Structure 1
Amino acid sequence: MKEQQHIGTHTFQTPFAKIIAIKENGVIKAKSIRYAHSKRFQMPVPIEPSASEIIFPDKTPVCPQSISPLIEKLIGPIDLDRFEVDESTQYLSVIRPENEHNRLPVVVWIHGGSHEIGCGDVPTSDASDWVKEQDIVVVSVSYRLGLFGFLGGTEERPANLGLFDIIEALQWIKTNIESFGGDSGNITLLGQSSGGDAIAHLMISEGVKGLFQRVIIQSAPLGLRHSRQKMSAEFLQKTDFLKHETDVVKMVTEYKKHVPSVIKYGLKAVMPFGTQYGFPPLCNEHETEDRWISNAREYDVLIGLNNDETAFYLKTSEALNTYFGKGFGQKIMNKTVQLTTEKIYGKPAEVFAGNYAKAGGNVYLFRIYSKLAENEIGAAHSIDLPLLFGNEDAWKSAGLLKNIPWEYIHENGIKLRAVWAEFARTGKITDQSEKPEILEFRKI
């Protein structure tokens, strides 16, 4: 990635503190603001307002996690020098345009990564292009992951701590975002993959009333959310020996030896961490549909997926391609991608949208397609990210974009960002909006 020249700094006077930000290339970035802190397996505690200045750190805090070879192959190599491991990962970053406009729509980015990996503030999800084009404010949230945030069920190890972190971040945003030029009454949550799953469950969580008005849910694996209680309880019990381990690297290495078996628990075991029903702030599983229906008039919803989601995992596997990369085997592979995409992502999104609309909710359903014959894996999981965030330098080594000209991503991305921003402003997508050729959507 090219080094960006810092033009200068900017000071935000907020109810929280005086926050020093970076001013560069037409945007202002306030990076890695700690909104809460926590002890291991305990609830987040909000940071008290301070008269001190908050200065952006040299390195981005990140929750302890393993480097994923698949992510490095398809998204790009991870520059470890940019990050600092922090078990209490309650940080957020704010990006706004350099102009003086205020009361701008606010988009809160909740990153994906199977509730196990990732960070809110990485180059591939830097929203600078989007912020400049559409005059919006984007806040990216980091929260606890894996063992630290999404596996629990006892008094010692509560469930859903990662969700509680996000709720704490939303409280902070509601209180402080107007000091950054954002509209505290016009907040849209945007999440991809497990981030979308988290957002769907925030819609039915306790303690979120008034914190957001709209949601954009991209590629949420809602088909994996059912009947996870036994699997989570087993995983919790098998990792209990790690709860007092002081070496977080060892924790992350060791838990992988005890991940639930796909043979025993089916496809849902491919995402062993997750939101857990029956523990705060969530209801019991059998109550979820009624909760979404009863809240249908509370939130505008844009939900959808990429047409070839599971190609991200299946078509990039060298082992599978040995047998299914050509001829009849390729037909089997394509069919498998189609079936698993619909089971995990497609059908659950349609059911969610349909039920929400029947209950009187304002909901749009979308699907992103690949229109390039040279793109062998199609519209796979995460293909929406370069479209949404741009940043050619950050994506230039991504295997996901092999044989896809950046001009194609850029042209479709500008239009997609405009449509998503229109929804964030108004909760509507008009017929007059120019849509990218790769996007199909409908009002339900």
Structure 2
Amino acid sequence: MAPYDNRDSKPHDPYYEPLSPEVIADPHPFYRRLREAHPVYWHGMLDSWVVTGHAAGRQVLTDTTRYASDFRRAGIDVPNTALSLQRLDPPDHTRIRHLLVTALHELPLRTTAEHLRAVMTARLTALAGTGPADLVTGFARPVALETICGYLGVRPPDGVDFELQSNAIVRSMDAGLDPSRAEAGIRARAALSSLVAGWLADDDRSGFVAAARRAQQAQPEITEDLLANSLRAILHAGYESSSRLLGAALLRLARQPALLDLLATPEGADDLADEIVRLDGSVQADGRVCVADGELGGRRIRRGQVVIVLLAAANRDPAVFPSPDEVNPRPRRGRHLGLGRGAHACLGAALVRQQLQTLFGCLRHDGFTITSTDRPRWEDTATLRGLTSLPAEVSARRTATAAGPHPIRG
């Protein structure tokens, strides 16, 4: 979540206390109660407006003239290490996004899909028949890291330092709720930006890093620091957001294996991926700062006030989604806010969908099944939700090599 007032003492809130054990276990009843009572709500603990309705949330995400990702536009200091694609607004954001989109167009998604299937199949094969395993550490985390690093064209970082730094960034997103998390996140961002800068300086690189470096040569106004910070944000999102989404998808499919029957229709994989992002997306919230007084959902929002869109709440707004807490086999595809909206829509949306569709294919076409063996555990984070453990058994009805063709989109 965006920077908030870092007072040590926070007032109690009757609707939503993000780091309480009950909300960590399942935030959706709390989102629903808040949305039904106050779709746009002043939250004392967060010193911010909290938006839970779909219409108001979409308005905040798409109106960059009034709601800024760059908090400097409201006179708020932002560390240089935090300035990236994610924290700029047009026209600065437009320039760096154009550079990165140019680099994206150099890399065919089909190649990534083939790599994804090989990685996922290998991981599931290694787990099959071995007894209870943790699908977070044994599948979701390594698959996400191998995928994003393969796409970037770099070797996955070794050792525990990267994992600690990555998690420190996640936890620092909730620094407004727990100020003790802030400093470690600042240091971790700097460390990972330095790692990326080293990749950019290597003339022998390939993949997205090399493509971005070539694109920068045509846009010298994009500084090396901004490019490194933006690629660091892509690395981090490709690891943390993706691994958490994969973990949540595995949990849902273990509990509802019949959902894979949706793949029997040509559009089924797209529909199921879209619904899982809507229902189980890891990014729970996105913050903006108001830069011009105005009205939102009948409430007066003042310049300098922070507005937090609870994406996960907006994605279950019954005004937009019938049976909002269930997978809809005929979803209103593309209406959810799980991959952002407007200028800051997720740059890696196609890769996110490809990861989910490849996972579906491994489970339906390659014959792997997942059975939960114990209760999953959730990390005590509010902005980026994810499992720390998913105990399950993996079995294979037949070998992956004996399975029929695996649909690959891209």
Give the TM-score, by structure 1 length: 0.25
Q: Which has the higher helix share?
A: 2
Q: Which has the higher strand share?
A: 1
Give the TM-score, by structure 2 length: 0.26
